[in-house]
Every structure is written in structure tokens, then in C-alpha cells.
Amino acid sequence: MLTISAQCWLCRMPLALISHGMCSRCTSALLSERPCCPRCALPALSGRQACGRCLQKMPPWSSLLAAGAYLPPLSTFVQQFKFNHTPALAKPLARLMLLRALAARRAGLIRYPDVLVSVPLHRGRQWRRGFNQSALLAESLAHWLPCTHHPGQLIRTQPARIQHRLNARQRARNLKNAFRLEFPVEGCHIAIVDDIVTTGSTVSEIARVLKQGGAASLQVWCLCRTL
Ligand SMILES: [Zn+2]
Ligand SMILES: [Zn+2]
């Protein structure tokens, strides 16, 4: 099992702050990837304008931030975090999301949300895993940023069926009415927090529920974007 060591995850240099997981040089290399579309976080010519795909069909959120692409080395740590029961990785991974959000705000691409809504797991899955990875990420982010996070604001009422064998339309149908809002969101600026965004069908369904509840604006913040 991977534990937090006193060395940088990537280059093995000693760390000044063990809780960071990565040295400053590796962190900036990871965060200075090629430009991504601000709406879908997929590689694009400009980091400021929506890509052609998004212009054709605008996503239901104003921006999608991803700490990085779902590729090694980041994907390896995300798998360790999620599947190998290593919740101790939540903080260093959330820090990458924080740095991405700070940079986007400095560039005028986003505003800070009032509320972070983490993607819920169905209670059976959470019981088996022992933790909800998205809630742990949101908890750290809410600690550092001027916004709130309360797990339980959004409930998953149906267990997730295996999504990866379904096409986009089947995924959307599979998720319909899978979430129930447990708090008032009218007028709130919200960021949905997820670990990995693949097709975006889960966050789209949550966005639909939050919009229906009267959310003023929506963003998606994730650790990794699948290319
Ligand atoms: Zn390093
Ligand atoms: Zn796009």
C-alpha cells in the first residue's frame, strides 16, 4: 500500500512539506500542461475560449477545471487513492485542484463558488469503500477556500450501474433521477467536485438537478479529465 513518504511522488527529491506529496518543481510541471478548453478541460488551441465541441453543444456549467489529464503519473495516484483505500492521499491531491483553481481565478476564468457539492456514492458503495473520494477532496478544498461543503447535501438514491459499457444516451438514462437534493441551492454559486470526469454524464445529471433547484452558477472541479 502506498503511504505518504517524505519524498516527492515523482522525482523522489526530499520534500520540505511532506503533506504536499509533490515538490514545487514537479507540481508546476504537472500544472503547466498544454492549453485546455475552459468548458470541458480537453486539449484545445486556446485556454481562454470554448473549443469547437463545446461551441456546438455547450455544457451545463460555466467552467470545468481539472488538475490534470487522466494519465500517469497522476492517474496512478488517483487509482491508489480510490481503489487501494488510501484516503491519506486526499489532501495532496486536493492541493493540486486548489492550485488549478487559484490560477484560473487569477486569470479571471472563474469566480470562487459559495458551495462545493461532492459527487455522492450510493450508501452501499460508500460502505464497501469506506470513504467517498470526492467528499474527501471537497472537504480539503472547503478548508482552504471561502466556501462550504457538507456531505449529504446531495444524495445518490440509486446504485450506479456499470457505466463504462454504456453509450452516452444509455449513460444519461441510467443516471436519470439518481440524485436528490437535500438543501436549498437557490441563488448559490456552486462547484461540483468529482475525482475523475470521463464523459461528464454524472456531473451533467447533477448540474441538471442543481439548476432545477435554482443554482445561480455552476462549475465542475475534478482531479482528472479522461482524454
Ligand atoms: Zn518532484
Ligand atoms: Zn470544450
pLDDT tens, residue order, the chain (227 aa): 445 568 888 888 888 887 788 888 888 888 877 789 999 999 998 888 999 999 999 999 999 999 999 998 889 888 888 888 788 889 999 999 999 999 999 999 999 999 999 999 988 888 888 889 999 999 999 999 999 998 889 999 877 666 666 777 777 777 778 899 999 999 999 999 999 999 899 999 999 999 999 999 999 999 999 98
* Cα 95 to ligand 1 centre (Å): 15
**Contact yes or no for 214/55 (Cβ under 8 A):** no
**Contact yes or no for 222/194 (Cβ under 8 A):** yes
Give the C-alpha distances (Å, rounded to integers) separating 203 from 46, 75, 118, 132, 227.
24, 19, 10, 16, 16
Strands 179-181 and 154-156: antiparallel
Best CATH choice for the domain 36-225 from the list 3.40.190, 1.20.120, 3.40.50, 3.90.320: 3.40.50
Number of the ligand closest to the Cα of 26 = 1
What are the boundaries of each domain within the chain?
36-225
β partners of residue 69 = 225
Separation CA 56–CA 179 (nearest Å): 27
Separation CA 98–CA 102 (nearest Å): 6
In the Cβ-directed half-sphere of 14, how many Cα atoms lie within 13 Å?
Answer: 1
Amino acid at 87: P
Note the pLDDT of residue 173. Answer: 75
Among all chains, which residue has been given the C-alpha cell 511532506? 18
* Cα 94 to ligand 2 centre (Å): 23
Separation CA 84–CA 94 (nearest Å): 17
Note the pLDDT of residue 180. Answer: 93
* Cα 73 to ligand 2 centre (Å): 24
With 0-12 / 13-18 / 19 or more C-beta atoms within 10 angstroms meaning exposed / middle / buried, residue 121 is buried
* Cα 11 to ligand 1 centre (Å): 4
Residues 6+ apart with CB under 8 A from 74: 30, 67, 68, 96, 223, 224
Note the pLDDT of residue 58. Answer: 94
* Cα 5 to ligand 1 centre (Å): 12
Note the pLDDT of residue 88. Answer: 83
Residues 6+ apart with CB under 8 A from 158: 122, 177, 178
* Cα 32 to ligand 1 centre (Å): 14
Note the pLDDT of residue 190. Answer: 97
76-81 contact pairs (CB < 8 A, 24+)? 77/2, 77/9, 77/21, 78/195, 78/196, 78/223, 78/224, 80/2, 81/133, 81/195
Predicted model pTM? 0.91
